[in-house]
């Protein structure tokens, strides 16, 4: 992978967290098109990266607690599997406004890293089949590429099969 990206002024909480942790990562910026129907698919296309290596960050309510599910943009989040992965019974997608307030990020730019309130995180186990994956760096049009194990370590993520193809 490329050398560690040096933090520059204007970074996001996600890139600040990565820099502070001293892990290798690469930032990818692209021009966000507000009319694109899928933030994740737009990111994959713009970066020329396979959609199974670009992961979206989704916030769900599991039995009254917010939980983050990180799954490939090529598929969807299995809410039942997410609930099971954290020992819960029922999961629904979180209210978007609540997800934004809690994480400190806007929809389409929610990162699993550097959240205002660190939420429990479950990373789809397919991430381990790639040397690096991309996740939101904290705003639309900005992705960060890093090793899946570094993401899991920094977010204290549970690895589980939560994605549906």
pLDDT single digits (tens) 35-70 = 888 888 889 999 999 999 999 999 999 999 999 999
pLDDT higher than threshold 70 for residue 150: yes
Q: What are phi and psi of 36, to 5 degrees?
A: -70, 135
- Residue range 95-102: mean pLDDT, rounded: 97
Handedness of CA 71, 63, 109, 149 (dihedral sign): negative
Please classify residue 87 by burial: count the beta carbons closer than 10 Å to its beta carbon, then call 0-12 exposed, 13-18 middle and 19+ buried.
exposed
Tell me if 48 sits within 8 A of 25, measured CB to CB.
Answer: no
pTM reported for the whole predicted model: 0.91
- Residue range 72-99: mean pLDDT, rounded: 97
Tell me if 147 sits within 8 A of 23, measured CB to CB.
Answer: yes
Question: Which pLDDT score is estimated for 35?
Answer: 87
Handedness of CA 106, 110, 116, 120 (dihedral sign): positive
């Amino acid at each position: 992978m490329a050398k560690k990206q040096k933090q520059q002024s204007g970074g996001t909480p996600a890139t600040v967290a990565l820099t502070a942790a001293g892990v290798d990562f690469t930032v990818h910026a692209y021009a966000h098109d507000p009319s694109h129907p899928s933030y994740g698919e737009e990111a994959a296309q713009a970066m020329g990266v396979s959609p199974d290596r670009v992961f979206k960050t989704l916030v769900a309510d599991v039995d009254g607690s917010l939980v983050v599910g990180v799954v490939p943009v090529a598929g969807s989040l299995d809410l039942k599997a997410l609930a099971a992965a954290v020992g819960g019974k029922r999961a629904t997608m979180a209210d978007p406004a609540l997800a934004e307030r809690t994480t400190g990020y806007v929809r389409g730019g929610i990162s699993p890293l550097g959240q205002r309130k660190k939420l429990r995180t479950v990373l789809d186990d397919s991430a381990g089949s790639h040397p690096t994956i991309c996740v939101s760096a904290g705003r639309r049009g900005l992705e960060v590429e890093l090793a899946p194990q570094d993401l899991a370590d920094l977010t204290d993520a549970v690895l589980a099969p939560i994605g549906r193809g």
